[in-house]
Amino acid sequence: HLDAAVEARTINANRYTRLLTEAGLVGEDQLGTPYHDPNARHVWNQYTLRVPGGRRDALRAHLSERKIGSEIYYPVPMHQQECFQDIPFRHDGLEHTEAASAEVLNLPIFPSLTEAEQIRVVDSVASFFQQANRAAA
């Protein structure tokens, strides 16, 4: 069943990227979508967005209010986790790691996710940015 699940997740990942791009949500000031190396096989266990500008948690709350699941798998960077504090290395200076930890949000991407469900997710993400833009104006 693994190959079928990976294929379904790949379809879902490609659809998310297309829908988010078509909605005008992908860009420097809004969302970053996952990079996919064309020479590699991605299993799409997660579909991870980068939400810059300190808006990740607000977007997650917005999705949650609409009964849309999302996840933050690594809320604390590895080098800042308590279990690694006794290891002798510099625990600062990993600004990209720290930024990623503060910005990443994973959308649902399970194999049986439907196109209609993905459209609802993307519409909800779009409504978040529309509200934020109105509030800033």
Please name the residue that has the structure tokens 């379809």: 11
Which CATH architecture group holds 2-136? Answer: Alpha-Beta Complex (3.90)
Compute the average pLDDT of residues 106-119.
98
**Nearest-angstrom CA–CA distance, 27 and 20:** 10
Tokens of 68: 């849309």
Global pTM? Answer: 0.90
Q: What is the pLDDT of residue 91?
A: 60
pLDDT 10s digits, 35-79 = 989 999 999 999 999 999 999 999 999 999 999 999 999 889 888
Cα 66 from chain centroid? 17
Cβ–Cβ < 8 Å for 18, 70: no
Domain residue limits, the chain? 2-136
Other beta carbons within 10 Å of 131? 12
Q: What is the pLDDT of residue 47?
A: 98
Q: Which amino acid is at 26?
A: V
pLDDT 10s digits, 69-107 = 999 998 898 888 889 888 887 666 788 989 999 999 999
